[in-house]
Structure 1
Amino acid sequence: MVSRKAAFYSMAVPALLLFFAFHTFPALQGVYYAFTNWDGYSESYDFVGFKNFIGLFQDDNVIHSYAFTFKYAIVVTILINVISLLIALGLNSRIRFRNFFRGVYFLPNVLGVLIVGYIFNYIFSNVIPVWGEKLGSEFLSTNILGNEQWAWIGIVIVAVWQGIAFNTILYLSGLQTIPQDIYEASDLDGAGKWQTFWKITFPMISSFFTINMVLAMKSSLMVFDQIVALTGGGPGRATQSIAFLIYQGGFQGGEFAYQSANAVIYFIVIVVISVIQLKFLQKREMGA
């Protein structure tokens, strides 16, 4: 009979090796190539030290991509958490068919991001303009994804619609951990709905709020699939995210080493932002 320890290693070691082979090793290779001038397909290359990293801070295209990604991530993170919390509060109340509605709201999370993106691409490009013409609306008659000023709003709509599903489930889990006795006591004390939410509900789900904020921000900073399906980084470079720039420049533009350096900076930025979020929000939890 196989011992428990042997069974553990027989399952853990292959998974660890696969993870190292397909995740850790390529990541380490990327860090190595970031200090070279390899274009991605030539047989030879030279070490250039920190030249690629210095060039990133002088590249207007890279700076624009970071600015767009941060703007997008902040807006999406706020909208996802506000809307998902409101939905969770509604689903947690005593409404009819609430289990059915929970399934409906979670459905977007099951669908593939690219599939959702292409569906919304068709809606923005064909369905809404037709409705706009029938309604006599000049704004709705144009494809929002083809407008440099408004294309990012279309991406935000898709990301928020799909992102609120997972966050809503987490908020629902948090709301269900709150004892009903506390709410009954607050009713007896004459507390209003806003006081009950701000003094009881929100402090008791603050840990879930922290998780949702960090996950939503990380996911938004790594936006890629929505860009591919909806705008391809356009019009022009108006919606070019960092991840999309790394992919496009590294695999299609002969900038493999240069974009590898960008990916290293990108990774550091995401880690720093996540750590700052955790520190700040966890400090708020303890003060709640």
Structure 2
Amino acid sequence: MKKKYTYLLMVIPAFVIFFTFHTYPALQGIFYSFTDYKGYGNWDFVGFKNYLNVFQDDRALSAYGFTFQFAITATILVNIISLLVALGLNANIKFRKTLRATYFLPFILSVLIVGYIFKFMFTHLLPDFGKALGIEFLSSNILGNPDLAWIGIVLLAVWQSAAFNTLLYLAGLSTIENELYEAADIDGAGSWKKFWKITFPLIAPFFTINMVVAMKNFLMAFDQIVALTGGGPGQATESISLLIYRGGFEGGEFAYQSANAVVYFIVIVVISLIQLRVLERREVK
């Protein structure tokens, strides 16, 4: 009985806090998505009207397109880079522990602060550098170009997120026994064959985690965009999260953007489940 009461004393406060600040607001948002509530004043029920309007809204569809483009590109790049870095850090090199700590620093820095630093680089440092060297591509601010601004956001997101993914890959690499590589050396296997036949299959569960978590985080991109472009130029880099925030809290579209948020939540869940199903099959192979 004493253990039972101790368990309840630990669980109930956590449950109350979680329900109050997470579950209740989520349920409230779902409720208002079926109304015409503007965030203030009176409201009436409108049924599924808000949900139907989401699929007819060109601005929302454009935001979905940008978000998917950004998330897919960043997810692929961050996993390639972090895996390569992890393989390098896992090798027998000098100052390995120091380098691991150094590579993890970007992850603990504030996204907004890093974003403003990158904005200064893209706006002033790189253009001045490009003009001095006569490099035309670097001579202009890519954040002011509607076709190239998303690349700057990808670079920032990948640079900061690679640290966490690298840490997970390092954890996976540490579970592989050296005897397997020694046996492969005896059989005359090359570096690529050892990676494809030994390393990658054994770290496949970590690859699955990294892919799912990275995609989910990039689909919810907000801070990086606010710091670098604010959704501009125009609406070229406006993500779904930013659109929901602006429309719901600044544009008097609380109910409509609540419906948009529900749709987006379902999209993220479906994508994550598909990723898990496909990648877990790869683990079995």
Report the 3-state secondary structure (helix = DSSP H, G, I; strand = E; otherwise coil) of the residue aligned with 1:96: coil
Are residue 213 (structure 1) and residue 207 (structure 2) matched?
no
Q: Which of 72, 75, 91 lines up with 2:73 in the alignment?
A: 75
The answer to whether structure 1 residue 27 and structure 2 residue 39 are counterparts is: no
Pair 1:7 & 2:11 matched? no
Q: CA deviation at 1:41?
A: 1.6
SS of match in other structure, 1:148: coil
**Which residue does the alignment assign to 2:59?**
61
Alpha-carbon separation, structure 1, partners of 2:121 and 2:226: 16
Classify the secondary structure of the residue corresponding to 1:178. Answer: coil
In the alignment, structure 1 residue 231 sits paired with structure 2 residue 229: yes
Counterpart selection for 2:276 from 275, 278, 284: 278
Aligned to 1:262: 260
Equivalences, count: 285
1:8 CA displacement: 2.2
**1:189 Cα offset (Å):** 0.2
Aligned to 1:107: 105
| Structure 1 residue identity aligned to 2:13 | P
Q: CA shift at 1:34, angstroms?
A: 0.4
**% identical equivalent positions:** 63
CA offsets 1:216-242 (integer angstroms, 9 cap, x no match): 000010000001101010000000000
d(CA) in 1 for partners of 2:15, 2:114: 32
Whole-Å Cα distance in 2 between the matches of residues 8 and 140 of structure 1? 59
TM-score (norm 2): 0.98
Q: What letter is aligned with 1:88?
A: A
Q: 1:49 aligns with which of 38, 47, 50?
A: 47
Shift of 1:215: 0.3
Instruction: Provide Cα deviations, 1:157-211, integer angstroms capped at 9, x if missing partner.
Output: 0000001000000000000100000000000000011100000000000000000
The residue that corresponds to 2:16 in the other structure is 17
Consecutive unaligned residues of structure 1, counting only runs of 5 or more, are none
- Residue 176 of structure 1 is matched in structure 2 by 174
Partner Cα separation in structure 1 for residue 85 and residue 254 of structure 2: 43
Q: Alpha-carbon deviation of 1:96?
A: 0.7
CA drift of 1:139 comes to 2.3
Encode CA deviations 1:122-177: one digit per residue, 9 max, x unaligned: 11112112212211223212111111010000000000000100000000000010
Aligned to 2:156: 158
Q: Give the TM-score of the pair, scaled to structure 1.
A: 0.97
Amino acid at match of 1:266: Y
Q: Within 5 A, what are the aligned runs for 1:85-104? A: 85-104=83-102
Q: Amino acid of the residue matched to residue 172 of structure 1?
A: L
Single out whichever of 131-140 and 108-117 deviates more from structure 2. Answer: 131-140
Unaligned 5+ runs, structure 2: none
Instruction: Identify the residue that residue 38 of structure 1 maps to in structure 2.
Output: 37
Tell me how far 1:105 sits from its aligned partner: 0.6
CA distance in 1, matches of 2:67, 2:116: 21
Does residue 245 of structure 1 match 2:243? yes
Distance, in Å, in 2 between the alignment partners of 1:3 and 1:121 is 56
Aligned mates of 1:89, 1:71 — CA distance in 2: 28
CA distance in 2, matches of 1:90, 1:186: 19
